[in-house]
Chain A
Amino acid sequence: MNKGSGLNRREFVVGAGTLVVPLHAAAPLQTFSGDEARLVEALSEQVIPADDTPGAKQAGVLYYIDRQLAGPLRRFAATYHDSLGRLTTACRERTGRDFVDLAFTDQTKFLLDLEAGRIEKLDSFWRMVVDHTMQGFYGSPAHGGNREEVSWDMLGIRDLMEGHRH
């Protein structure tokens, strides 16, 4: 409990603006290779895209998933490595390009086909990515996602959650 301090996280960040550490300093990856990370980030942004408010990429969902796959969700790490590879291959075969290089709407179309079971057998993996993205976006910032509490801000419950965040 620290309700009396009158200084929430956002104000602290603004107040500390002279610090040289950027808000989105790249955290070291624990699970994914660079290519895997770019793919997971693109997939998560499809689940929760940015519009007037931040999406999964800005919320750092990639870092949530990366960290949990080295922790409580480690039993799914092998599935990620395998499925990301298969997804990459399937996308190249179907479109001639890497998933991350497709236009956003073409990515969406590919994933809708994948979800419907028309591509490979990756529908259950995609459901897992959807779930993990929701966790990283809407859950506690303590786990590496929901940076700057962007989802709580979006829902208008930042003050409520911060009042009882411990």
Chain B
Amino acid sequence: MVVGAGAAGGIVAEQLALSGLRVVLLERGRRQMFSETGHDELRSQRTTVLGNAFGPDDERYARLAQMADGSFQKVLPSEGAYNNIAACVGGGTFSYGAMAWRYMERDFRMRSVYGAPEGSSLEDWPIAYQDLEPFYTKAEWEIGVSGKAGANPFESARQKSYPMPPLPFNREATVLSAAAGRLGWHSFPIPMAINSIPYQGRPACIACPHCVGFACEVNAKNSTAVTTIPRAIATRQCELRTGCVASRIVMDAGSKAVGVEYFQDEKLYQQPSRAVVVSCSATESPRLLLNSATKLFPHGLGNNHDWVGRNLQGHAYSGASGLFDTDLFDGLGPAARVACCDFNHGLPDGLKGGAMIANEFIRLPYLFARTVPPQIPRWGLEHKRYVRKNYKRTLGVMGPVQEMPVFESRVELAPELKDHWGIPSLRISGHRHSHDVEVGTFIAGKCEEWLKEAGAISTWRSVAGRGVSGGQHQAGTCRMGNDPMTSVVDRYCRIHDLDNVYVVDGSVHVNNGGFNPSLTIQAIAYWASARMARELGSKG
């Protein structure tokens, strides 16, 4: 039984089904079609002012989020502080930007390389890059990633190239690439889970201007909704049940799960199962564990040592925008095409970790109008003139700055707030580590340098603050480790104290790298599935 048909759950379901096991794949959202949501900027995963295009809905879900003054406020899924991940078949991958990065060798042993800064629970992973390498390769070929092997000199060793060539540079990537060369940096095409050529029976990207935040109109974006999940169903070993909201994992009197309880169409069901895989995201997975308390596990499953929901991380996105005196916008999506990894590690002044930096996805008109430089008025004729003159002359370069884990950054149950089905909701609290701001400031400076070298006539920075972490790259809340006292799951994603409950998603990340996390989530899904298939298969 797999709960959550997203980036990881869609892979685990397929792999277990291929091994001959019967799989029920539970998803609270539904299967969505491009035609339902289209290219509506105001109701996308990027801009949610009119609601979440891909769920969850504002009517049935809510959370409590900590505000800057420390108080808690009720927030809806379409509001930023909710820290939403899409709830539909494919999960976040159905509408993601599809950057498909491998973390670097050093990302798996951050504590050994740098030491933990005060106030951080920074730790090494119990697995190494080399353990995951074959599974990164598997993810790249099974999901479908376009890229240029060897183009990034900082990438850790790979055994196989990408299955597709990279998407071609657009105008701004060409300009930025030349500028990086003049600075002595090493730019290369971003690896993307987007078809650059027809692959697995689906067409190549048509370079539309809407990419991140939208479903793909030609299915060239490689979500689990169009890759592993249909293949899982085709084995006839996997049944996908949508509109199913898991309320708790059902345990026997001891440490063995016997099934999952869930709501569908307002009715409560129980599905017996030999094993339960929780793949609901780094906010919803801990919620399900915490809502499944028993006599033996009174604080929630896997939580006897108070680690479930801890170390909530995301990325402290920082960067810069630059204004040019010529049009660099050519409308070719996904505009994000060029990156440098010169600043992922080895930063000066004792800075730990870092970020890859890349040009941004196309800023659609509303978002552009809301992100004018600080000296421009927020409204009125001057604002309008600025937007009109500079829409095609503005470039953004950003990096997902690796966050130092903070034990107090967390999700926990909010018993006073329940969702539509009466299941206790979450509350999210804590703050980023001060070190993240230092690294963010450094990265923003490098982004400005890049833009200036490319010819920007003015630049302005954006550095992440110390607010609550999480976001769409949420991770860390069911940490993987060898020691049951200081982690939730073992190196194969099984909860330490339990016989047959696994967490497979970004929750298990010990830290979140300086990269978009989806390919790592998926590599771990392949890694954990291989072990699970052996264990569960051998028991007959």
Q: Is the CB of B388 within 8 A of A160?
A: no
- Distance in angstroms from B358 CB to nearest chain A CB is 22
A68 lies within 8 A of B379 (CB)? no
B374 within 8 A of A: no
- A72, B379: Cβ atoms closer than 8 Å: no
Question: Which of B32-40, B240-248, B286-294, B480-488 makes up part of the contact surface?
Answer: B32-40
Contact pick for A166, options B35, B49, B50, B370, CB 8 Å: B35
In the complex, are the beta carbons of A155 and B365 less than 8 A apart? Answer: yes
Number of A-B contacts (CB under 8 A): 90
Q: Does A49 contact B366, Cβ atoms closer than 8 Å?
A: no
Chain B, residues 29-48, CB within 8 Å of chain A (1/0): the string is 00000010011111100000
Q: Are A165 and B50 in contact (CB under 8 A)?
A: no
The interface on chain B, measured as residues whose beta carbon lies within 8 A of the other chain's beta carbons, has a size of: 34
B231 interface residue per 8 A CB criterion: no
What chain B residues lie within 8 Å of A164 (beta carbons)? 39, 208-210, 217
Assembled-state Cα–Cα distance A68/B50 (Å)? 8
Answer yes or no: B392 CB below 8 A from chain A CBs. yes
Find A160's partner among B50, B209, B368, B383 (CB 8 Å cutoff).
B209
Which of A49, A72, A137 is the most central at the interface, judged by chain B CB atoms within 10 Å of its CB? Answer: A72
B42 touches A139 (CB 8 A): yes
Nearest-CB residue, chain A, relative to B218:
A1
CB nearest neighbor in A for B381: A49
Q: With CB as the reference atom, state the residue of chain A lying closest to B49.
A: A135
Contact across chains for B209 and A161 when beta carbons are under 8 A apart: yes
CB of A73 within 8 A of CB of B369, answer: no
| Interfacial chain B residues near A140, Cβ < 8 Å | 39-42
Interface centre among B51, B364, B365, B379, by most chain A C-beta atoms within 10 angstroms, is B379
Render A87-113 as a binary contact track against B, CB cut-off 8 A, 1 for contact: 000000000000000000000100000
Q: Is the CB of B331 within 8 A of A157?
A: yes
Cα-based distance from A142 to B369 in the complex (angstroms): 19
Within the complex, what minimum Cβ distance (angstroms) separates A53 from chain B? 7
With a cutoff of 8 Å between Cβ atoms, the chain A residues found around residue B184 in the complex are none
Say yes or no for A51: interface residue by CB 8 A criterion: yes
Q: Which residues of A contact B43 (CB under 8 A)?
A: 72
Complex-state Cα separation, A166 to B365, whole angstroms? 16
Contacts of A157 in B (CB 8 A): 209, 331, 365, 391
Task: Please give, as numbers and ranges, the residues of chain B lying within 8 Å of A53 by CB-CB distance.
Answer: 388
Interface pair A49/B384, CB less than 8 Å apart = yes
A154-B364 Cα distance, complex, nearest whole Å: 14
Contacting residue for B392 out of A138, A139, A156, CB 8 A? A156
A155 near B391 with CB under 8 A, answer: yes
Given A72-B50, A130-B379, A164-B217, are A154 and B209 also a contact pair (CB < 8 Å)? no
Asked if B70 lies at the interface with its beta carbon under 8 angstroms from chain A, I say no
Interface of A is mostly: helix
Q: Is B387 an interface residue (CB 8 A)?
A: yes
Find out whether the CB atom of B51 lies under 8 angstroms from the CB atom of A139: no
Which residues of chain B are near A166, meaning CB under 8 Å?
Answer: 35, 38-39, 217
Nearest-CB residue, chain B, relative to A126 = B379
A140–B380 Cα distance when bound, in Å, is 21
Using A152-B365, A155-B365, A160-B209 as known contacts, say yes or no to A139 and B41 having CB atoms under 8 A apart: yes
Residues from chain B with a CB closer than 8 A to the CB of A47 are 379-380, 383
B 18-64 contacts with A by CB, 8 A: 35, 38-43, 49-51, 58
In the complex, whether B160 has a CB less than 8 A from a CB of chain A is no
Assess whether A138 is in contact with B366, with CB atoms less than 8 Å apart: yes
Does B378 lie at the interface of the complex (its beta carbon under 8 Å from any beta carbon of A)?
yes
Give B171 Cβ to nearest chain A Cβ, in Å.
Answer: 14
Q: A139-B42, A164-B217 are in contact. Are A155 and B379 (CB under 8 A)?
A: no
CA–CA, A160 and B170, complex, Å = 15
Tell me, rounded to whole Å, the shortest Cβ–Cβ distance linking A80 to chain B.
Answer: 15
What residues on B are CB-neighbors of A139 within 8 Å? 40-42, 365-366
Q: Which residue of B lies closest to A145 (CB)?
A: B42
Q: Residue B387 contacts which of A49, A51, A155 (CB distance < 8 angstroms)?
A: A155
The CA-CA distance from A148 to B515 in the complex, in Å, is 40
Whether B388 contacts A155 by the Cβ 8 Å rule is: yes
The reply to whether B380 and A138 contact each other, CB–CB distance below 8 Å, is no
> What's the nearest-Cβ distance from chain A to residue B61, in Å?
15
Q: Is the CB of A151 within 8 A of B365?
A: yes
- Chain B residue numbers with a CB within 8 Å of A160 are 209, 331
Among A131, A137, A143, A151, contact of B50 (Cβ-Cβ < 8 Å): A143
> Are B380 and A108 within 8 A (Cβ)?
yes
Verify if A119 is at the interface (C-beta below 8 Å from B): no
**A134, B370: Cβ atoms closer than 8 Å:** yes
Contacting residues, chain A, for B35 (C-beta < 8 A): 166
| Residues in chain B near residue A71, CB distance under 8 A | 50
Determine the distance from Cα of A134 to Cα of B378 in the docked complex, in whole angstroms.
10
- Interface pairs (20), CB distance under 8 Å: A49-B380, A55-B384, A127-B378, A133-B379, A134-B366, A134-B370, A135-B366, A138-B364, A139-B41, A140-B39, A143-B42, A151-B365, A155-B365, A155-B387, A157-B365, A161-B39, A164-B209, A165-B38, A165-B39, A166-B217
State the A residues within 8 Å of B (CB): 1, 46-49, 51, 53, 55, 68, 71-73, 108, 127, 130-131, 133-135, 137-140, 142-143, 151-152, 154-157, 160-161, 163-166
